[in-house]
Each structure stands twice: as C-alpha cells, then as structure tokens.
Structure 1
Amino acid sequence: MATPKNEEDWAERVHRHLKAELKRANVTYEELATLMKNHGFKETKASIASKLSRNTAPAAFFIAALVAIGCEVVKLEDI
C-alpha cells in the first residue's frame, strides 16, 4: 500500500482500519458507544457514525475504540 501523501489520506486510512476492526469484531456503532462509556467517552451511535464518515475522530478515540473492542495489536503496515 502506498504511503499517504497528506493529512486527509492518513485520516482516511486510520478510519478505514477502525471500520475494518469493528466489522472483524462484529461490533456495531451502537455497541461501540456502550463500550466506549467504560473508557470515559460519551459517544452515541450517531456521533460515532459522524466521526467515522467524516474521518474526524481524534487519535484518542481511535485507540480507545480499539481497546474497547478487544483489539490488542495494531500493525502500522495494516493501516
């Protein structure tokens, strides 16, 4: 996979990776919102959908979401 050329490309790749991990874990946005509450986030299904569709979720959200769904390893070459 080619190296992203700008911030928007990086954001798209990160969000695509999170969506793939959610699918792999069979976790819906609604379920993720519930799981994220355990990590101090006040998210809703709609707020998650908005962040992921606009590629605007911050790094803290990305990491917390992966932890919430039980993802233990992220290989940078997979992003």
Structure 2
Amino acid sequence: MADQSEWETKAANLLKAELKRKGVTYAQLVEKLADIGISEKEANVRNKLSRGKFSAAFLIQCLQAISTSELRL
C-alpha cells in the first residue's frame, strides 16, 4: 500500500499532467485562479506542486480554473 508521500506525489503528478495536457503554465494557472476568485502567487503554486502538499480543495480549484471536467486516474 502506498504511503502518504506517494499519494501526494500521485496528486501532484495528476495536476501537472493536466496542466501540461491543457498547455497551461504556472503563471497562467495563477491568472486563471484569480479569474475564479482564488488569490495565489506563482511561487506558492510552484512550491505546492513540487512538494505535492496541497488540499483537495486546491486541486479542484485548479481543475475548475483550467476547465477540466473529467480526470482519468
């Protein structure tokens, strides 16, 4: 069974892959998050994704911001 850090890595990789698939940079993600009322700095987003330490709410906010309605796990 995967430990916590492995799950965090999987979540981060899932979001990174979706950003790549949509062609969205971290800077663009910050702009898109701002469009839906979420204030983040690019450095904070970069750190969250590199560490894999972010909430499910942040994941959903990012997916909403980049107009992702379906995920393949």
TM normalised by structure 2 equals 0.91
- Please give the alpha-carbon distance, in whole angstroms, between the structure 2 residues aligned to 1:63 and 1:69: 10
Match of 1:35 among 32, 37, 40: 32
Percent identity over the alignment?
36
1:23-60 deviation digits (Å, cap 9, x = unpaired): 00000000000111123321111110010011111111
Q: Which moved more, 1:24-33 or 1:4-13?
A: 4-13
The answer for the alignment partner of 1:44 in structure 2 is 41
In the alignment, the residues of structure 2 paired with residue 74 and residue 39 of structure 1 have an alpha-carbon distance, to the nearest angstrom, of 20
RMSD: 1.2
Return 5+ residue gaps in structure 2 as ranges: none
Matched residue count: 73
Corresponding residue for 1:9? 6
TM-score scaled by length of structure 1: 0.84
Supply the distance in 1 between the matched residues of 2:17 and 2:31 (Cα, whole angstroms). 19
> What runs of 5+ residues in structure 1 fail to find an aligned partner?
none
1:56 corresponds in structure 2 to 53
CA distance in 1 between partners of 2:26 and 2:64 (Å) = 15
